[in-house]
Amino acid sequence: MSRVIVIVDTQVEKTEVAGVSTTLYRVEAMKKAIAYSTTAPISVEVITSTEAALLPPSQEIIWCPLTLDVPNTLQFWGQNIFPACRNLTSFRQQVEALGYRAGEGSQGQESLYLPIVLTAKGPLYGEVISQGKATNCYQQPVDLPDHQRQPLYHLAYQLLQSLEAPPSVYLLKFGYKEQEIICARLLPFPDVPALASLGIQEPNLFTCHWHCLTNQPIYDLTIIPKSE
């Protein structure tokens, strides 16, 4: 039986405390994605970063962190990209070295996230997700005009190339300042904004993530048409 270990910030309990509830939703979305995309028997465990540090190395485990807080000693597919995304100062210096502006967007503007599904054959770009004024209020899709899309895709491609990013789902947080892209950060897993893709994008970002981790093909990302 295959063994999947999901790493989260805190123990998942069925509570409505802010933060824990979104962790629960993401874990459940990940479990459903695994169940729907896997025919062989599979075991899914949810542990904290502290608990992950105590486990011996194993090539039999499929690691699925849903947090940047992973042990530095963990040997897994993301052992280089996770520290690179966690160190914001170094990450933003890398963005600037590519010729882009880094930091937060203009104050008062909504945060935007570009989903990037990086498969073994290359990247697929999802529709942009917006974050409203409410902390956990996210919506997809945001209809950006083509003259904004193409520079954004170019930035994402260059950034992933420079970081030697492995297959995964990435969320590129960005904003605008005087029409110029400001790159804020990169998340190498389906974080809270990815919940906006459930029932909206096919396949959703959690299913995409599982396919990336297990080298299953993804041919296209589509927005599900609204029923009349």
What does the pLDDT read at residue 132? 76
Strand-pairing partners, residue 185, are 173
Strand-pairing partners, residue 139, are 130
Task: Tell me phi and psi for residue 223, to 5 degrees.
Answer: -90, 125
| Interval 71-113: pLDDT, tens | 999 999 999 999 999 999 999 999 999 999 999 865 556 789 9
| Interval 159-209: pLDDT, tens | 999 999 999 999 999 999 888 999 999 999 999 999 999 999 999 999 999
Distance CA 105, CA 101 (A): 10
**In Å, what is the CA distance from 195 to each residue of 38, 127, 190?**
21, 13, 8
Structural domains in the chain, sorted by start:
2-223 (3.30.470.20)
